[in-house]
Amino acid sequence: MKQKILVTRALFPDVVDRLRTHFDVETNDLGRVFTATELTERIADKAGLMVMGDPISRAMIAAAPALKAVCNMAVGYNNFDLAALNARGILATNTPDVLNETTADFGWALLMATARRVTEAEHYLRAGKWQAWQYDMLTGTDVFGSTLGIIGMGRIGQAVARRAQGFGMRVVYHNRSRVAPDIERALNAEWVEKDALLRQADHIVLVVPYAPASHHTIGAREIGLMKPTANLINIARGGIVDDAALIEALAAGRIAGAGLDVFEGEPQLNPGFLSLTNVVLAPHIASASVPTRRAMANLAADNLIAALGEGPRAGNPPN
Ligand code: DGY
């Protein structure tokens, strides 16, 4: 008899078909995300889960006696209660590496759009406000030759740094531990204390994983250290930034702008963001190119197949 698995959200049909060759697969055909109660009910008899960021809590794990593997189609895995999974010996996996370049590209898309006010310019045009060329119309911040600050110098942070070389930027970074000297040299990146980075950088990109220790890495105090002309880009996780403090700072013009792909409490958004013109907003799409999403889906499926003893293990498990 095939082991039972649940795929929590809509997925490439061919990847679901591949899973069906190994497993008895339940999918989500509701056209929306499962509620916690629906998810708890559905995982009760499952051996494996393929999830897309859905919170997998201690209570859910306790209600799923057959559960052996939980595979996230994401590199981040702060949606898992790892302690509860570990206590039960349940394997948890993620999808690192395959999304590094695509996510770094999007960090740069937000950086450029924020620095050069691209979405604001488009809204201006669409609203019929363009009357004439004007010396100070929609003037922004330079990117070429400026200082890039990267907080979190893992694989995605390094991919962000590589791109800065083409823009003639000075790159400073902060990470709990310094990266190897040869990587620093190759990236032309200099480790600095977080506060020094906040003071020096013209553009700050956040690429740290979310954990209780990284909650509100950027709050009112940190924003207060930034240059008034600086931009803040978050492609990491909601909760890394104190959204209320950021909204207050953007509204007061204490920093120039922000480009955000992730939010506290997403997909709900603090309504304060919506009335601001100096913020570029995106719905958590940094890894959303077709090839990368396919690679993530296939890697997550490979992980599930391997974790449930149906084939070789791929990818790096977080536990
Ligand atoms: C990731 O892979 O962690 C992306 O943020 C998608 O959730």
Q: What is the ipTM of this complex?
A: 0.94
Domain boundaries 100-281, CATH class: alpha beta
Which among 197, 207, 249 has a CA at the least distance from the CA of 228? 249
287 lines ligand 1 (CB under 6 A): yes
pLDDT along the chain (319 residues), means of 10: 97 98 97 97 98 97 98 97 98 98 98 98 98 97 98 98 98 97 98 98 98 97 98 98 98 98 97 98 98 98 97 56
| Rounded distance from Cα 70 to ligand 1 centre (Å) | 15
Residues assigned a catalytic role: 237, 266, 284
Ligand 1 atom 7: residue of nearest CA: 74
The atom number, within ligand 1, closest to the CA of 99 reads 2
Site to substitute for ligand 1 among 95, 97, 99, most atoms within 8 A of C-beta: 99
Domain boundaries 3-98+290-307, CATH class: alpha beta
Output the pLDDT for position 304.
98
Output the pLDDT for position 53.
96
Helix axes 155-164, 100-115, angle to 10 degrees: 50
Output the pLDDT for position 311.
76
Q: 137-173: buried (b, 16+ CB within 10 Å) or exposed (e) per residue?
A: eeebbebeebbbbbbbbbebbbbbbbbbeebebbbbb
Output the pLDDT for position 88.
97
Output the pLDDT for position 272.
98
Helices (H), the chain: 13-20, 36-43, 58-62, 82-88, 100-115, 118-126, 155-164, 181-187, 194-200, 220-225, 243-251, 290-307
Identical fold at 3-98+290-307 and 100-281? yes
- Domain parsing of the chain, residue ranges: 3-98+290-307, 100-281
Site to substitute for ligand 1 among 98, 156, 287, most atoms within 8 A of C-beta: 287
Output the pLDDT for position 66.
98
315 lines ligand 1 (CB under 6 A): no
